[in-house]
Amino acid sequence: MDWGDSTEQAAFRAQVQQFIRERLPEHYRNSEGADSVEETAGWQADRKSDDPVVRAAAKDWADALAEHGWIAPAWPKQYGGAGLSYMEQFIFNAEMAQANAPAVGGMGVSMMGPTLIVHGTEEQRQEHLPRILSGEVAWAQGYSEPGSGSDLASLQTRAVRDGDEWVVNGQKIWTSGAHFADWLFALVRSDPDAPKHRGISFMMIDLKTPGLSLRPIIDMAGKHPFNETFFEDVRVPAKNMVGEENRGWYVGMTLLDFERSGVGLAIQYRRGLYDQLEEMKGKSQPFVRPDLGAVRLEFADRAIEAEILYNFALRIVSMNSRGIVPNYEASVNKMYGSELHQRVARTGTKAWGLYGQVWDPKSAYSPMGSTHVQDYVVSVPHTIFSGSNEIQRNVIATRGLGLPRG
């Protein structure tokens, strides 16, 4: 066991640090916490921002990353990625998080590209991969439906074949960032008579296709990260199906072969914690509650728990590096990380006492740009999305520990 970098790892880490130091646009430096609340959209929103400074920052940063293949660090070099090893990706992601530098490429890089690399035709790859890598096209994910959340395979959005097209009708929900995206990848029901996992197909759908419409969902933080997506006779060319007809569940669920340890979040929570501790000693002192007593020890717990989460992340990448496919361990990370996120936000908010409720980051009474109270709200869905924590615990117990399914 070794928590330290090897010589090569240290050199790569130094290279990434230097790159970020030299190339991260001013706009992304020292950004107040409030900005990061928009992280569900992040770079994807910035590239379409009305503010030319923000737009330029998004483009410059994407261009800088692209020089190293670091928009898609995990993709094989032959597809324009950097072909980094698991451990290099881990270091890259950790350093990006440490610098609060935005990842570029969103779902296109993390989901669509890898899916095409594994399941796509050569034609599909050539059409879509370069445009993901250039930052020209952003993707959104159309999986969840109003009646299909944790039980995703029950999805009902219907696709019916008509010549060399599919006609899609139905509704998706929680389509994150679709209002900043250009294309959608979706799971649709292509055979209603087959068992539920075996009647689903995976499709790429241009968001400008007639009959497709978005309706914003405003969340309880007053933000607009999600949408409802409606399909009324949306015609999708048959060539936009990925993988075989009715095999879409397996296409969508393919465990894509790259670093998913969540190290970025582990670093982010830890950095946020120590930033706040630093701030509490300094200029924001007037906002620190006078009776800090019990919160002191909460901070100690959070600091310890941040190490626990980091270790869980390092465990995953250690398994990857040794050619072992993580099993329940990935669910542990999601579950523990999301619950820690909520605890960090709660402790952070508590430290400010009455000031901990000031929502407006520009208020004279706002501690640290209201980042903690906003995070307190924004962390609520973290234990719900990407497989609720109840589902994660089911997975740990059944797939991981071999307990019988209920």
Partner 1 sequence: MDLGLTETQELLKNAAREFLENECSETLVREMEEDERGYSPALWQQMAEQGWQGLLIPEAYGGAGFDFMDLTILLEEMGRALVPGPFMPTVLGGAVPIIAAGTEAQKQQYLPKIASGESIFTLALTEPSARFDESGIETRAEVSGTSVTLTGTKLFIADAQVADFMVVAGRSAQGVTLAIVPTRQPGVHVTPLTTIASDKQCEVVLDGAQGELLGADGAGWEILRGVIRRYTVAECAYLVGLAQMDFEITVDYAKERVQFGRPIGSFQAIQHKCADMVTDVDGCRFITYKAAWALATDQPDAEAALAVHMAKAWTSEASRRVVAHGQQIHGGIGYTRDYKIQLFFRRQKRGELAFGDADYHREIVAQRIGL
Q: Which residues of this chain interact with partner 1, rule CB under 8 A?
A: 1-6, 9, 87, 90, 274, 277-278, 281, 292, 296-297, 299-301, 303-305, 307-308, 311-312, 314-315, 317-319, 321-322, 328-329, 331-332, 335-336, 390, 392-394, 396-398, 400-406
Nearer CB in complex with partner 1: 57/335? 335
Least distance from C-beta 347 to partner 1, angstroms?
A: 12
Nearer CB in complex with partner 1: 238/300? 300
Residues 333 and 314: beta-carbon distance below 8 Å: no
Active-site option among 259, 279, 298, 305 = 259
The two three-digit tokens of residue 223, written as one number: 């933000």
The one-letter code for the residue type at 335 is M
Q: How far apart are CA 109 and CA 377, in angstroms?
A: 28
Distances (CA, A) of 352 to 17, 49, 371: 33, 33, 11
Nearer CB in complex with partner 1: 137/317? 317
Q: Please, what sign has the CA dihedral across residues 359, 365, 367, 368?
A: positive
CA angle 246, 248, 250 (to 5 degrees): 115
Nearer CB in complex with partner 1: 301/360? 301
CA nearest 158: which of 144, 171, 173?
A: 171
Least distance from C-beta 311 to partner 1, angstroms?
A: 4
3-state secondary structure of 358: coil
Q: How far apart are CA 355 and CA 372, in angstroms?
A: 10
Least distance from C-beta 180 to partner 1, angstroms?
A: 35
CA nearest 158: which of 133, 130, 186, 118?
A: 186
Nearer CB in complex with partner 1: 148/331? 331
Task: Note if 298 is an active site residue.
Answer: no
Half-sphere exposure of 351 (CA within 13 A, CB side): 30
Radius of gyration of the chain (CA): 22
Nearer CB in complex with partner 1: 336/355? 336
Q: How far apart are CA 178 and CA 162, in angstroms?
A: 26
Least distance from C-beta 321 to partner 1, angstroms?
A: 7
Least distance from C-beta 370 to partner 1, angstroms?
A: 22
Least distance from C-beta 394 to partner 1, angstroms?
A: 6
* Positions marked active-site: 259
